[in-house]
Every structure is written in C-alpha cells, then in structure tokens.
Amino acid sequence: MASTKNFHSLDHVACTSVSMDTLRAVLAASDVAAAHASDRYALAHEAGTPIPAPTESDYRAVRRYDTADPEPKTLFHSKRPAPLPVVAVFENLAKRVPTFDAATGLVAAVLMLRFQRASGLPLTTAMLHRLYLACLVVAAKAHHDAVAKNSAIAKLSGVSTSELNRLEAELLRALDFRCLVTAEQVEAAVLLLTEPDSPCALTLTCSDDASPLSVCSESPEPETAQADSAPSLPDAALLQRFM
C-alpha cells in the first residue's frame, strides 16, 4: 500500500499534539472508562434495575435491548469483549496501513466521542474495539488523499469486508457525515480523556475556523499524558464541543 500525502497543510498545533505516547494515553483512558461503564451496566442488571436505553438521542444506535442484555446492543457490540486493549487494534493496523498513524488515531478518538454524543450511549468494553476500528477507517478517509481499501483493512482486522462496510456506514449515519476534526478538538479530547480536571480542558474551544488536523511525518514529543486515574468519558455538555 502506497504512502499518502497530507490532505491538509501542516500547522503547529497539530504537529505538537501528535505522538504515539499521547495516543496510547488516550486509548488507555478510553479502555478504563469503558470498563467502568460496563461494570455500571452489569451491576444495575444484576440488581434488577437495568439502565434503560436512551430515547431522546440524535441517533438511534440501539439495535436490541431486552432483559437478557446487561446493556443496549448496537452494531458495534461484539459477542464477547476483546481480550486485548484497544490500543492493540491500532498498533496491529498501524504496522501495515500507512495512513493509520498517531494523528489519525487521535482523530478516531474524537469521532468516538462524537458517536457517544449522538447516540447518548456510554462507550463500553463490548463495543469499544469495533467502534474504534470504524472510526479509524472514517478518520483516514476524511483526512488523507488516499487510503487502503476496506477489504485490506478488514483482512488485517479479522472481520469481513461486508461487516466493516456496515460498521463504517453506521458510524457515518450516526455522525451525520461530519467527519472532519480540527487540531483544537484533538487537543481538547486529549485533555478531557487524560487530564479531565485540567483548566485547559474546560477552556479550549472548537470554533468553526480552527485549523484542521494534519498528519505529520515527524512531530515534537510532548510530555506523555498519564491515565493513572479511572476517568469517566465526558458528559453531554462537554461532548458538545466535538460536534
């Protein structure tokens, strides 16, 4: 697969935002938050007071929800939780797909937050990996001139091409085809997921004229963000920043 040139011009904010350490911290925080959401659903289900599916969300992502299900089921739910952290999904693909670099990985994380906002559903362990895979595909297509075919990505991911196509289409509908992400939105997502109490996380704006995120071949290494605490994913008010 040939490498691609950048779709957007480089800007300072994007270059200083992108590092593999930052992406690992963001995905680790997402794993922890998803595990907590899954535990919350499981405890409520065991107590006989299941958490209801959202009824007033912008997009109806729930495909099934009955008394046998601990949580509402979407197209992104797997039959069983993946045994590996979500960063393993990225690292496995990044070795073989040139457009799946750290910048694209962070764009995909923002798209996950947009899906959470649109669907009204917390991201759980059972849905995180397949959702992030779809977000990677959409992020690459939105921010690169040329990308690998879905058939190649599906083969590397262990899903069928038709299934990956379905996941991509479902995500695009949920996002209302709003797939472009700015560098400022990436910075806000990094802070909200890894340093949710940071004052900067609450003051970063996501204006329409913000510089688009661009993919950098080399970028300065910022201090590694840590995800030692057990964060919850942002609430609806904060998620509005990413829409």
pLDDT digits (tens, 9 = 90+) for 127-178: 999 999 999 999 999 998 888 999 999 999 989 999 999 999 999 999 999 9
What is the CA angle 87-150-31, rounded to 5?
A: 20
Q: How far does CA 227 lie from the centroid of its chain?
A: 16
- If you search the block for the tokens 């297509």, which residue do you land on? 141
Distance CA 129, CA 79 (A): 12
pLDDT of residue 131: 96
Do 141 and 147 form a contact (C-beta atoms < 8 A)? yes
Q: Identify whether 110 is part of a domain.
A: yes
Distance CA 165, CA 136 (A): 13
Number of domains observed in the structure of the chain: 1
Looking at this protein, which amino acid is placed at residue 116? Answer: Q
- What is the CATH classification number for the domain harbouring 176? 1.10.472
Q: Identify whether 1 is part of a domain.
A: no
Residue 143 sits in which domain range? 12-215+232-242
Q: Identify whether 165 is part of a domain.
A: yes
Q: Which two tokens stand for residue 217?
A: 């071949």
Do 151 and 137 form a contact (C-beta atoms < 8 A)? no
Q: Identify whether 161 is part of a domain.
A: yes
Q: Return the DSSP state at 182.
A: B
pLDDT of residue 18: 60
- Residues in the chain predicted with pLDDT less than 50, given as ranges, are 1-17, 198-243
pLDDT of residue 230: 43
pTM reported for the whole predicted model: 0.76
pLDDT of residue 133: 96
pLDDT of residue 113: 92
Q: Identify whether 6 is part of a domain.
A: no
Q: Identify whether 5 is part of a domain.
A: no
Q: Identify whether 227 is part of a domain.
A: no
Q: Identify whether 225 is part of a domain.
A: no
